[in-house]
A and B are shown apart, each in its own frame.
Chain A
């Protein structure tokens, strides 16, 4: 069965520093992968999504992610973190009929 692992429950980054949030997936076949962000007291919003093609995907607000089939990974990156990036980030894989299997999420804390 498909699964998503986000090994870091919490990540703290200084404002202006670079960021990487890790995501490992398990899926038989060609995966469609997503990163969603949840800001405080809000629903989830799409950051970016991958479907077969260029392994590096650009998203909103300077985020990008890189798909690696050999490593079964889809890590999220940002070159310079802003305080407004403080949120919970979810990686997800499509399970068919657009049903998503989510990871447990990574809380991103931004320190001044």
Chain B
């Protein structure tokens, strides 16, 4: 069974502060993704990566940076957190990024920006 773990489980941050969300996978998967979930919007893709030391923009990258220092680890960075970034963030991985592959999700990080 695929395993994707996220930390922290929840976080409260102040407006303008820096926030780092971490994701670790033990599946030896090439692709990793960051999604955010907002009530009434489903999940939206922020950034993704298909190889270490490289990241790609998703559909809503503004205000976010990503870092993939190794195959196993993928971080999401909010340099200047804003109220609008309050959401639940999910990390996911997939083996090769092919069209019909399954994504394996972590349990999520609930971020509240005050």
A contact residues vs B (CB 8 Å cutoff):
4, 9, 32, 36, 41-46, 49, 51, 90, 94, 96-105
Known contacts A32-B100, A99-B45, A99-B48; is-contact A43 B4 (Cβ 8 Å): yes
Pick from A44, A46, A94: contact of B90, CB below 8 A: A44
B contact residues vs A (CB 8 Å cutoff):
4, 31, 33, 35, 40-45, 48, 50, 58-59, 90, 92, 94, 96-103, 105-108
- A32 and B99: CB pair below 8 A? yes
CB proximity of A27 to chain B, nearest CB, Å: 11
Chain B residues closer than 8 Å to A43, beta-carbon distance: 4, 90, 92, 105-108
Cα separation A4 to B42 with both chains bound (whole Å)? 10
Chain A residues closer than 8 Å to B98, beta-carbon distance: 98
Question: A9 — nearest CB in chain B belongs to which residue?
Answer: B40
- A98 and B40: CB pair below 8 A? no
Known contacts A94-B99, A94-B100, A99-B48; is-contact A45 B42 (Cβ 8 Å): no
CB proximity of B57 to chain A, nearest CB, Å: 11
Query: Which one of B58, B97, B100 has the highest number of Cβ atoms from chain A below 10 Å of its Cβ?
Result: B100
Chain A residues closer than 8 Å to B35, beta-carbon distance: 102
Chain B residues closer than 8 Å to A98, beta-carbon distance: 31, 94, 96-99, 101, 103
CB proximity of B54 to chain A, nearest CB, Å: 13
Starting from the known contacts A99-B33, A102-B43, A104-B40, 10 additional A-B residue pairs (CB-CB under 8 Å) come to A41-B107, A42-B107, A45-B105, A46-B103, A96-B99, A98-B94, A100-B103, A102-B42, A104-B41, A104-B42
CB proximity of B112 to chain A, nearest CB, Å: 16
Known contacts A32-B99, A49-B100; is-contact A103 B105 (Cβ 8 Å): no
Question: A91 — nearest CB in chain B belongs to which residue?
Answer: B42
- B99 and A103: CB pair below 8 A? no
